[in-house]
C-alpha cells in the first residue's frame, strides 16, 4: 500500500448512530461517542476525509433531498467546529432494486470520491460497518476496515483488501494514522 492520503467513511453506524428508522431529520442525527475525536485524529495525520453513504430513503420518497442536504450540512458544520474538514459527501439516493452503479456494494460512490480527491485506490481506505461497504471498497481497489459500532460482527468470507475489524472509528483512526 502506498502512503495513505484519504479515508472514505460510511455514514450511518460509523459516524452516527445507525437508527432502525433511519436518520430522517436533524433531530435524528446523533454522533457516535468517539466519532468526532476519531475524525480529528485522521485529519491531524494529514488524511483527507470524504463520506460515501447509501441513502435509499431519498429514492423511496421517505426523505426529501433538501432534508438530506440539511443533515449533511449539520454533520459538516459539527466537524468544522471540531477542527475537521470533510472534502465531500457522496450519496446514492437509489433503492437497492434500481441497479445503479453508485449503490454500495457497487464501487461508483467510491470511484467518484477518489476522482474528486485526486487520489489513487491504493492511497485510500474505506471504513464501514457493513459488508456492502467492504465489497464496494474491494471493487474500487481500495483497502477497507470494518467497525463494529453499526451493524455488528465483522463479515465472513474473503474480501480483497480487507484489513480487519475494530471496535469503533477511533480504533480505526489509530490504525490508519500510522499508515499516513
CB atoms within 10 A of CB 65: 12
CA dist 158 and 165 (Å) reads 13
Residue found by looking up cell 474480501 in the block: 159
Is residue 39 part of an annotated ligand binding site?
no
Q: Taking phi first (over 0 means left), then psi (-120 to 50 degrees means alpha), and beta for anything else, what does residue 9 get? A: beta
Which one is catalytic: 12, 133, 168, 170? Answer: 12
Q: List the one residue out of 63, 69, 76, 67 whose CA is nearest residue 31.
A: 76
CA dist 128 and 21 (Å) reads 19
Is residue 129 part of an annotated ligand binding site?
yes
Is residue 92 part of an annotated ligand binding site?
yes
Q: Would residue 12 show up in a list of annotated catalytic residues for this protein?
A: yes
Angle at 125 between CA 161 and CA 51, to 5 degrees: 135
Q: Answer for the pair 145, 175: CB distance below 8 angstroms, yes or no.
A: yes
Q: List the one residue out of 16, 103, 21 whose CA is nearest residue 59.
A: 103
Is residue 133 part of an annotated ligand binding site?
no
Cross-strand bridge partners of residue 69: none
Is residue 94 part of an annotated ligand binding site?
yes
Is residue 10 part of an annotated ligand binding site?
yes
**Residue set of the binding site for Zn(2+):** 92, 94, 100, 102
Catalytic residue set: 10, 12
**Residue set of the binding site for Mg(2+):** 10, 12, 129
Amino acid at each position: 500500500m502506498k502512503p495513505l492520503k484519504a479515508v472514505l467513511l460510511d455514514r450511518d453506524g460509523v459516524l452516527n448512530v445507525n437508527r432502525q428508522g433511519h436518520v430522517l431529520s436533524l433531530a435524528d442525527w446523533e454522533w457516535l461517542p468517539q466519532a468526532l475525536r476519531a475524525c480529528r485524529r485522521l485529519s491531524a495525520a494529514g488524511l483527507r476525509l470524504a463520506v460515501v453513504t447509501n441513502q435509499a430513503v431519498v429514492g423511496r420518497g421517505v426523505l426529501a433531498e433538501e432534508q438530506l442536504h440539511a443533515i449533511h450540512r449539520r454533520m459538516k458544520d459539527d466537524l468544522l467546529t471540531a477542527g475537521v474538514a470533510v472534502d465531500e459527501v457522496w450519496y446514492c439516493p437509489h433503492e437497492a432494486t434500481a441497479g445503479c452503479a453508485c449503490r454500495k456494494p457497487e464501487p461508483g460512490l467510491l470511484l467518484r470520491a477518489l476522482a474528486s480527491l485526486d487520489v489513487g485506490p491504493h492511497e485510500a481506505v474505506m471504513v464501514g460497518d457493513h459488508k456492502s461497504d467492504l465489497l464496494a471498497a474491494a471493487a474500487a481497489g481500495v483497502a477497507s476496515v470494518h467497525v463494529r459500532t453499526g451493524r455488528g460482527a465483522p463479515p465472513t468470507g474473503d474480501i480483497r483488501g480487507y484489513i480487519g475489524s475494530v471496535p469503533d472509528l477511533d480504533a480505526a483512526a489509530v490504525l490508519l494514522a500510522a499508515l499516513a
